[in-house]
Structure 1
Amino acid sequence: MEIQLLPLAEKKPRIEDESQLAFGKQFTDRMFVMEYDAGKGWHSPRIQPYGPFAIDPAAMVFHYSQEIFEGLKAFRRPDGAIALFRPRDNIRRFNRSATRMCMPEVDEDFFLQALKQLVKLERDWVPRSEGTSLYIRPTMIGVEAALGVRPSSKYLCYIILSPVGAYYKGGLSPVKIWISDEYVRVSPGGTGEAKTGGNYAASLRAAMEATEKGFDQVLWLDAVHRKYVEEVGSMNICFLYDGKLVTSPLKGTILDGITRRSILTLVRELGVEVEERALSVDEILDGAESGRLTEAFGTGTAVVVSPVGTVTYRDRTVAMGGGQAGELTLKLYETLTGIQCGKIPDPHGWVEIL
């Protein structure tokens, strides 16, 4: 792998006041890039100065949306060391997305080493304040210049880095969720379990309407019955129902979240039973009003754990646990972020120190 020199003149100014860090607004000095050609495979891996690409207007990604991405984080630990959280799981999911979108897989070991090398070179960009991190975005796009509905024969794969603060400015303040019964995110047999841009593009209209109505996120219903909840716009979602943690099953229509996996492991260790089944809208609304549903929270790499305060469906609004972050929600947030940042021991081998 080639590591290109970074001219001093190209170094970017960093935000000194880390409380001003936004999500995904500033990017580091370097990025990793490699290319793929049919018959040749992946080639020309390099770490180069961050900058724009020159891509043909006929590149197939623009016309047929062959694109996948991932999201993970690097954390600054109390001793100054840099840690990654379950990076190999993200790379494996990246390859599963690639297979679903008819794109070439990357070599897992090489890609992980390239990612680590990039973060090491950019370690000064990893923020130090509590709740901050360095967000890592691996991406692959089809770049063959051709029109015609088929897989591209050429691909560009790259990794960019962004120092970030808390995903939500309110921190752990409970969010307001709107359940959409007009739009659906994906259908069975579609690309719901792939982390591909088209899934997120399909969510924008409902997300915009939710914002206009004063809500923070959209909760999607299944595309078949329009009654069972699946996931929130940028998160998997969990409910504490009759003392069990209930979350939608992995059946191809929701993302197999790395944070979701971690949370389910921690929940079981706390002695709470986990039930993977789809809750209906009526179960959620009636359960919240009767007290059977006592907590709800979203999970995701960017947000970690986000408590749900209220859920609105049509003209009915219910509060989760009095509209405050629940005891289990807070415990899971503190435990998972503690493991990620090195404040709590990691018995699972999830953390990799650079």
Structure 2
Amino acid sequence: MELNVLPVPALKPKVTDESQLVFGKLFSDRMFIMEYDTGQGWHSARIQPYGPFSIDPAAMVLHYSQEIFEGLKAFRRPDGSIAMFRPADNVARFNRSAERLCMPQVDEKFFLDAMIQLLRLEADWVPHNIGTSLYIRPTMIATEAMLGVRPANKYLCYIILSPVGAYYKGGIAPVKIWISDFYVRAAEGGTGEAKTGGNYAASLYAAKQASEQGYDQVLWLDAKEKRFVEEVGSMNMLFLYDGKIVTSPLHGTVLDGITRRSALTLLQEMGYEIEERALSVDEVMEGARSGRLQEAFGTGTAVVISPVGSFCYRDECVQLGDGKPGELTMKLYDKLTGIQYGREPDNHNWITLL
């Protein structure tokens, strides 16, 4: 399939004060788009000016939520070069989500090449300050105008770019996590492992309640027993428990996080034993009280590594250590961001340079 590049009539002014960048508010000059029709396949691939597009009020995405997305970043390095972190893994996961949602898969090589070409055209949008990056959002939606519960026959796939500021503007701060004992994010056999908007919509009500009570995130328990911890709304969770790294196994309810994978690889290289097992909420609370739970942190594209300062469950809140980011948490954060920004060697071929 040919990729056409359309002219941009006028370029937007670039941000001059990168300290004012926030997440997901500003978008670059161009976007990638391609369309799908059953019987024809993907077609009309193009890079065009960023802007609204028109869909029918009966578009199936609006009624039956056939939608998937991804999130990854490009980083400006000290020498001015631009690096992407594990983009092929994101494209592969995009296709796994598409399969789960009965949506057409993309040609992974073509899609990645189109993403790289878009980034090269928009290179001036990659910010320079430490901790900043260009967020990349591939998305696919069902656009067929049809009221009826079945997979659509028409789809729109697009990629937009957004310069984002450093996640921790005032330094890394531990988060306060509320463990929900009523609401659940995903159940076995559902769509929990897919990166689809419905999973996030389902988490909003509990997240709103948690925020109103002064918490930063919700930690979800399994839907069947409401006993075993799984993940928070925007991060996978890892625990340093009895000197080992414990994290929820991937069994259909937990997102297969790219940052999670990277963290587990690096932690194993540091000499830590990895246990992918069901960790109960009782173990978390008792471990924090006794000191067996030494550190806990979330992993995700936006935060990279986010330290946990305390867990609150029912009527009890427990603090981890002195409530400050743990030594291992910070070491892992420095190692991972070092690879992304070129301060550390990339021994796993995770980096794609533009």
Query: 314-323 vs 207-216, which deviates more?
Result: 314-323
Query: 321-330 vs 104-113, which deviates more?
Result: 321-330
Secondary structure, aligned partner of 2:137: strand
CA distance in 1, matches of 2:289, 2:73: 37
Which residue pairs with 1:343 in the alignment? Answer: 343
Secondary structure, aligned partner of 1:321: coil
* Alpha-carbon distance, 1:7 to partner: 1.0
* Alpha-carbon distance, 1:169 to partner: 4.4
Which residue pairs with 1:32 in the alignment? Answer: 32
Gaps of 5+ in 2: none
The reply to whether residue 4 of structure 1 matches residue 26 of structure 2 is: no
8 Å contact kept, 2:70–2:195: yes
Query: Which residues in structure 2 correspond to 1:170-319 (within 5 Å)?
Result: 170-319=170-319
Q: What RMSD over aligned residues (CA atoms) do the two structures have, in Å?
A: 0.7
Which residue pairs with 1:326 in the alignment? Answer: 326
- The percentage of aligned residue pairs carrying the same residue is 72
Secondary structure, aligned partner of 2:249: coil
* Alpha-carbon distance, 1:321 to partner: 2.0
* Alpha-carbon distance, 1:14 to partner: 2.1
CA distance in 2, matches of 1:133, 1:321: 32
CA distance in 2, matches of 1:179, 1:203: 13
* Alpha-carbon distance, 1:168 to partner: 4.6
Secondary structure, aligned partner of 1:91: helix
Deviation track 1:17-59 (CA, whole Å, cap 9, x = no partner) reads 1111000010000000000000000000000000001000000
Count of aligned residue pairs for this structure pair: 352
8 Å contact kept, 2:288–2:319: yes
TM-score (normalizing by structure 2)? 0.99
Aligned AA for 1:149?
A: V
Aligned AA for 2:160?
A: I
Aligned AA for 1:297?
A: F
* Alpha-carbon distance, 1:167 to partner: 2.9
CA distance in 1, matches of 2:208, 2:113: 39
Aligned AA for 1:146?
A: M
CA distance in 1, matches of 2:231, 2:15: 34
CA distance in 2, matches of 1:15, 1:211: 30
8 Å contact kept, 2:68–2:94: yes
* Alpha-carbon distance, 1:16 to partner: 1.0
8 Å contact kept, 2:335–2:344: yes
Gaps of 5+ in 1: none
Which residue pairs with 1:79 in the alignment? Answer: 79
8 Å contact kept, 2:185–2:220: yes
Aligned AA for 2:99?
A: T
CA distance in 2, matches of 1:45, 1:291: 55
CA distance in 1, matches of 2:188, 2:316: 28
CA distance in 2, matches of 1:170, 1:136: 24
* Alpha-carbon distance, 1:15 to partner: 1.9
CA distance in 2, matches of 1:210, 1:247: 23
CA distance in 2, matches of 1:210, 1:168: 21
CA distance in 2, matches of 1:301, 1:52: 26
Deviation track 1:54-108 (CA, whole Å, cap 9, x = no partner) reads 0000000000000000000000011100110000000000000000000000000
* Alpha-carbon distance, 1:171 to partner: 4.0
Deviation track 1:112-146 (CA, whole Å, cap 9, x = no partner) reads 00000000000000000000000000000000000
Query: Which residues in structure 2 correspond to 1:57-206 (within 5 Å)?
Result: 57-206=57-206
* Alpha-carbon distance, 1:339 to partner: 0.1
TM-score (normalizing by structure 1)? 0.99
CA distance in 1, matches of 2:34, 2:147: 23
Deviation beyond 6 Å, 4+ runs, structure 1: none
CA distance in 1, matches of 2:339, 2:168: 20
The reply to whether residue 54 of structure 1 matches residue 68 of structure 2 is: no
8 Å contact kept, 2:130–2:166: no
CA distance in 1, matches of 2:169, 2:253: 29
The reply to whether residue 21 of structure 1 matches residue 57 of structure 2 is: no
8 Å contact kept, 2:131–2:167: no
